Structure formats: structure tokens, C-alpha cells
Amino acid sequence: EWPIKNRWYSSWAPQWLKKILGRFWPSHKTPDELIYGPGGLDEAMKFPGVSNSWTMPIKARVDMLSTGIRTPVGIKIMGADLQKIQEIGEHIEMVLKDVPGTKSVFAERTAGGYFLDFTLKRPELARYGLTIDQANNIIMSAVGGENITTTIEGRERYPVNVRYFREFRDDVEKLKRVLVPIRTGGSTGAQGGMSGMGSSSSATGASGGAYVPLGQLADISLVTGPGMIRDENGRLAGYVTIDLDTSKRDIGSYVSDAKKAVHENLKLPPGYQLIWSGQFEFMERVKERLIIVIPITIFLVFLLLFFNTRSVTKTMIILLA
């Protein structure tokens, strides 16, 4: 059922009277009130790092496929360094928030990803008779998990994934204590890393095999880096998505004011470029075509009128009438 709002007659009028009064003072919320009003969808769906763009699904999909931008207006920042692209995007985000007509603006955090980095120690691997592939398989099995079989339930199939419990892998120090099976007596036991936990330089399993903590074989650290890398025309790119109120401002005038604000408050480093995209990109393409098409059309109409009237004066009078 479509949400309704309280009107002056909502508390006392009977149902039959509400229907009559509702024709003059509708009680149903408008789409803008439903989305942007107090307690609306936009307020409820605000999450850190996410920009809301309320539009029709098919329209959003067409815009995304044609320009890569889901919102009516967007900015593509082109450059050579993702960290610098992110800094420029954050600056643009702060500037455009004050431009009239802006509903929301969000710059992608292109360099804001966190990763667990394993740097294998080759001398230590050679010392214990392990290959890089074996060490990588152990890390993937213990941390990322490994599909060991598939269960069949009727027509459905589900993979069975095995890895350490979260309490054994939620900290760098705990990961350093993951036990890795090593070769002993010419045989290899490096078939998986799911053997247990330990903290000594080497250990012996119940089956007689020897183990060594992963911390001795690799340097483990948390590092930051790009969560996703965009590139266009051979250059790194970052997006700034802008959602504006098209009922109050047209896209052309908004982009004109936004460009002016960005130009006044931002100085781009050498080698970096801003490309305005979204629906504005379509408008620019149409504008370029009309600059050519309109003069040709007027000239053809002039020729048709001239051939009919055989008089330049009469032709001009008709055109200017």
C-alpha cells in the first residue's frame, strides 16, 4: 500500500468524506516526499561510502551501459596515480556539496582498500624443502578456504568449504602461528595447512610429521591499496557521482555552475584531467550535432521557398514571419 501523510482532516473525517477531501488535498505521499521527506528512503538508506541515486531501474541501467555513470551527472578523474585521483575526488566532493541543486555527491575511494599481505621468505622455504606453490596452497586453505567436495540434495549442489575457525585467523599474530607441514626424511607432508596452531619454531604432529609456524616462512602484514582499479583509454580513472534535483534545476545550468565552482576551488596537478559525464555527455553530443544540422536545415528550407517564390524578399519574409 502506498504510504500516506496526515492531513488536516485525517483525524476526524469519516472514510467517505476523506475520499472527497482527498481529491483536493491528496493524502498520498508524492515520490519526492517518499524518498527525500522526513524519515524517507534516502535518509534510511544512507550508508558510509555509498551514494544514493533514485531513478528508474531501466534508465539507470541504460545510463550505466552508455557512460559508466549511474547518476544524471558524473565526473571522471583521469590521471597516473590512484592516491592523487582519490584526493582530487574528495576535494571535488566537498566543493559540489554547496552547489544549489545537489542532492548527494560521492567520490570513489579508489585507494581505500585493506589487504592481508603474505611475503614469502624464499631462503626459509628452501631450508624446509617447500615450494612457493605449496606455501600458497597452505595459505589459501587456511585463510581463504578450499572446496573439498560437493553435496547433492535433489537437483541442488552445494560446495563444502573447509578453513580455520574465525578465532584462529582474525589476527595477524594468530596467522603467524598457523602450522605448516614440512618435509621429513625425504617425504613431503605439504598437502594442506589445516593441521593446527602452534608458536614454537618447529613442532611434531601426532603422525610424526614436522611442522613450522607460518610466521617463519612469510612476513604477514596489513597493507592499504586500491580496492578496484578503473582505467579508460589507457589511463587510471576515478568517478565522482552526483545526484541532483532535476525538478528544480536543469542539467545544463547545474553543470555550468558546478564547473565554475570546481574551477575556482581546485587546481589540477599536471597530467590530470576532469571529464564531465552522464546525461550531460549526451547533451554535449546533441549540441555538437545541432550546430551542424540546424544551419543545413535552414539553408535547405530557404532553397525550397526560393524555388517556389522566385524571390529572395518573399522567402525572407516567410522565414522571419
Plot region of 100 (φ>0 → left; ψ -120 to 50 → alpha; else → beta): beta
Write down the pLDDT at residue 2: 65
**Within 13 Å of residue 72, how many CA atoms lie on the same side as its CB?**
19
Mean pLDDT in residue range 38-61: 75
Q: What does the pLDDT look like over 208-247, one tens digit per residue?
A: 568 888 889 999 988 888 878 888 888 999 999 888 877 7
Write down the pLDDT at residue 285: 86
According to the per-residue pLDDT averaged within each range, which of 25-29, 185-189, 281-285, 288-292 is highest?
288-292
Backbone angles phi, psi at 141, to 5 degrees: -70, -40
- Tell me the C-alpha distance between 104 and 52, whole Å: 7
Backbone angles phi, psi at 278, to 5 degrees: 90, -150
Mean pLDDT of the chain: 82
Domain boundaries, the chain: 1-45, 114-225, 284-320
The model's confidence at residue 202, banded by pLDDT at 50, 70 and 90, is low
Write down the pLDDT at residue 184: 64
H helices of 120-167, in order, are 122-127, 132-139
The CATH code of the domain at 114-225 is 3.30.2090.10
- Tell me the C-alpha distance between 201 and 113, whole Å: 33
Write down the pLDDT at residue 38: 76
**Within 13 Å of residue 274, how many CA atoms lie on the same side as its CB?**
22
Q: Among 1-10, 151-160, 287-296, which is the least confidently predicted range?
A: 1-10
Q: What does the pLDDT look like over 136-167, one tens digit per residue?
A: 888 888 777 888 899 999 899 999 988 888 88
**Whole-number percent of the chain with pLDDT over 90:** 27
46 against 156, higher pLDDT: 156
Write down the pLDDT at residue 208: 52
156 against 57, higher pLDDT: 156
Closest-CA residue to 268 (of 100, 108, 111, 81): 81
pTM passes above 0.75 = no
